[in-house]
A and B are shown apart, each in its own frame.
Chain A
Amino acid sequence: MKRTARLLPAVFALALVAAACGGDDDEGGGAASPSAANLQGQTIEVAAVWTGAERDNFTKVLDEFSKQTGAKVTYTPTGDNVSTFIGSKIEGGAPPDVAVLPQQGVLVQLVGDGSLKPVPDDVKQAVSENFAQVWGDLASVDGQLYGVYFKAANKSTMWYDVAALENAGVQVPVETWDDYMTAAQTVSDSGVTPVAIGGSDGWTLTDWFENVYLSQAGPEKYDQLSKHEIPWTDESVVTALETLAKLWGNNDLIAGGAKGALQTDFPTSVTDVFAENPKAAMVYEGDFVAGVISSETKAKVGTDANFFPFPKAGDSPAVVGGGDVAVALTDKPASFELLKFLASKDAGEIWAAAGGFTSPNKNVDSSVYPDDVSRAIGEALVAAGDNFRFDMSDLAPAAFGGTVGKGEWKILQDFLGDTSDPQATAAALEKEAAKAFD
């Protein structure tokens, strides 16, 4: 133990030098032929955004990797801005060996800079065995796989107050958008406002739109619209807006009416449903709503609060979400070995069992999730298979998809305030998108 401890800094320094020299050299004193069971004496550095409980759980995964391979893994938290952190590390000549990127845009950017190492065949194989094809595609640039999606977020979850829906006699899950409208009307008839919308935050509205659009227009159109290959004035966009208008345009169905919704931020929209004096019965947002419910209200997720998958506006089951992708910045054998491990069922199950985690890995046994709600979230994500798509507004330039008071956020807020003219809204979206994408 002591010897390794003394050796470590030396190995680490060597790694730094190697990286600084361009990273092409072979490891000085590394194992000649590393296999899954023998990476003894190697050290790699992993950088990710996670802190607190998430960090602890990720460390459990890394510990298991160390146990299996003998490699030592150090964890570095990146802070909120991952691309800045990694950029400055690369600039300084000492990139972390493996980084977990929370945005696909960063992956594309780093590939463009030539900072990422393409993964070898055994990692490719692990990815294709364990994930739906879409996850491999999302981690690829120009057909070359660069990483492993380890953690995912499901943003197609409609949360509801169990008592309110029981009182109204609404059967869950509500499968289709038409059924959802009927259910909303029934809840409204029962004397409870059916839906709370956090319209003061524009991103909640883009998520509504994306869920409707993905299942209605289908994944191909969704991809095209994400890349602005079809204009926002496309008929499919107008149809999706008209679909949304059925709910957004009906003041009886929205807590506080459209005007009130525009004054409600996301956390308030959640507490409006689950706090002591509920103002609404349902609220839509991603799986992180569970966290808000637990921290802000007395409602218990699973008994007082539950969710069903976002009702399908079209034919295809669709899940919109996000994900964290692990990539290699050095071509050390241990880096790739870690990616292969993160693609495995074991790695996913360790964190899944610890909670607060959704695995996109289709082979992860869903029985390891600690409760029914997180199990259902994970199962819905895997069930969507290749119909999973990233949050479209996250993929768009920030000026269009991520700025308060601008672009898609603002235009959809205006649309929530006045749903009378979907055509004009689509035209406004197209105008802003054209400006941001060129």
Chain B
Amino acid sequence: MADRDVTTTGAGEQPAPVDRHSQAAEEPDGGAATARRDVIPGIPLPRRAKHRDPDRAGSTWAWLFLLPALILLGAMVVYPIGYTVWRSFYNAAGSAFVGLENYGDLFTDTATFTALKNNAIWVAVAPAVVTAFGLIFAVLTERIRWSSAFKLLIFMPMAISFLAAGVIFRTVYDQDPNRGVLNAAIVSVHDTFIESGEYQGIRPRDTDQLTARGGGFVTADPVPASEPVQIGFVALPPDRVPSDAVQAVPPPDGPGLRGVIWLDFARGGGGKPNQIDPNEVGLPDMSVQAVQDGRTVDSAKTGPDGTFAFPELTSGNYTIRLPSSNFGAAFNGVTWLGPTLVTPAIIGSYVWIWAGFAMVLIGAGLAAIPRDALEAARVDGATEWQVFRRVTMPLLAPVLAVVLVTLVINVLKIFDLVYIIAPGSTQPNANVLALQMYLASFGGGNNQGLGSAIAVALFLLVVPAMLFNIRRFRQEKR
């Protein structure tokens, strides 16, 4: 009712078109309206000078205006906060008062404590890194010609929802180089410099005969030159069997140390271990070294049937070495989302999203810096770096502080990226408070007491940052 009276009065006294409905509404309560009229003259009307007469009636009206907002705030902010605090003193079922036990659990429950720790890492690292990147981008784009295009590009991730960004980065960080672009890059760089051998990943059939050493294999015992050697390997994928490989044969008689290296596996089964069977092929082009007293005395390569020979070595005992160049080391990239790297990886995606935000704010701050201050410094002979360090930075400090604090608040609440990017197996390692709050309350834990305690803790952590920001705004107003 009160609201409507006010609108009516306002509309009536203004030359603006009169609303039919409000006029009609005014008629029936004529008496009541007049009774209230004596209050009305005190209302500051639009376009009249404000604050001229801040009497008590005015403040009553002000409160009336505020009422709807206050009710909404009360119902949707104050009440939930109060209820959360109250709930945090009760047990999982909400039936028994447990005092501060839930708050004790914050530090004793390992999952929650990990979340607390990770939140600390987030707050320490993410805002600083984002601000640093924002500063670098802002300073650099100020000077370049295509700055708008560049800024647009950096700012673009802000337009993507966190959920979508999370899905994107889940794929970016995928372990499999065929899916994860980051590992694809790393693996291709790795493979450019370190070639993987033709027989990468295969292993000896008889591990007593051959032992792994330095990425390759050596015979466990030296072999006499008079005795032919047979070395069987397994686990060569069918599609990587060399096309020139033919049926393996026992080494032919002849002078010197001889042997055969073959794939001790017959396709389709039926082969016996440590024995050359039909359908078992030699492993061609494998380099073989004969070692005596730690010194390589001769080397050879296997033929298409897997045989090799050292005709010169007719006597003595030799260790046969298959150097690592044959095998290479299989490199599968980095496990980005494994237990150790998962938090840094998610922080990386956060930086990608928010760097643009920091850049735009800092860029605005930069634009507001008086040019003459910079000019004066340059005229006085300061180098660009000195101008940046001694003039730009101090003038920019308030903006940087606001960006940093805003990001701190934002980072404390981080939830979606962690929830989406971390795979189930490492989610506990990547846990943060907001996520733990959800998991404890609804995600199977069903302990809303603990969840509420986490929420309160989170709230308390955000409060200082908020107070700082509010104080800043006040100072700026003055």
Contact = CB atoms under 8 A, between A and B. Distances in A.
A404 B265 contact: no
B269 A186 contact: yes
Interface string B299-341: 0000000000000000000000000000000001001011000
A262 B426 contact: yes
B424 interface: yes
B439 A167 contact: no
Interface stretch (A88-96, A355-363, A395-403): A395-403
A410 interface: yes
Contacts of B332: 256, 260
Q: Size class of A's contact patch?
A: 35 or more
B236 interface: yes
A189 interface: yes
Contacts of B427: 404-405
A258 B460 CA distance: 41
A199 B444 contact: no
A308 B143 CA distance: 67
Contact of B236 (A191, A202, A264, A399): A191
A173 to B, nearest CB: 16
Interface string B417-435: 0000001111110010000
A77 to B, nearest CB: 24
A167 B268 contact: yes
A168 interface: yes
Given A186-B269, A252-B203, A405 B431 contact: yes
A273 B443 CA distance: 31
Interface in A251-288: 252, 256, 259-260, 262-265, 277
B234 interface: yes
A404 B440 CA distance: 11
B445 A202 contact: no
A99 to B, nearest CB: 24
B113 to A, nearest CB: 14
Nearest to B270: A169
Interface centre among A169, A170, A265, A402 (most CB of B within 10 A): A169
A166 B269 CA distance: 8
Given A256-B332, A403-B445, A404-B443, A200 B235 contact: no
B296 interface: no
A402 B442 CA distance: 12
Contact of B443 (A189, A265, A403, A410): A403
Contacts of A169: 266-270
B445 A265 contact: no
Contacts of A402: 444
Nearest to A168: B269
Contacts of A264: 175
B235 A263 contact: no
18 contacts: A169-B270, A186-B269, A189-B234, A189-B264, A191-B234, A191-B240, A199-B425, A201-B424, A252-B235, A260-B175, A263-B338, A263-B423, A399-B446, A402-B444, A403-B444, A405-B431, A406-B444, A417-B425
Interface of B: 111, 174-176, 178, 202-203, 205, 234-238, 240, 264-270, 332, 335, 337-338, 423-428, 431, 439, 443-446
Given A262-B338, A263-B175, A263-B335, 11 more contacts: A167-B267, A168-B268, A191-B240, A191-B265, A200-B424, A252-B203, A260-B175, A263-B423, A404-B427, A404-B444, A413-B424
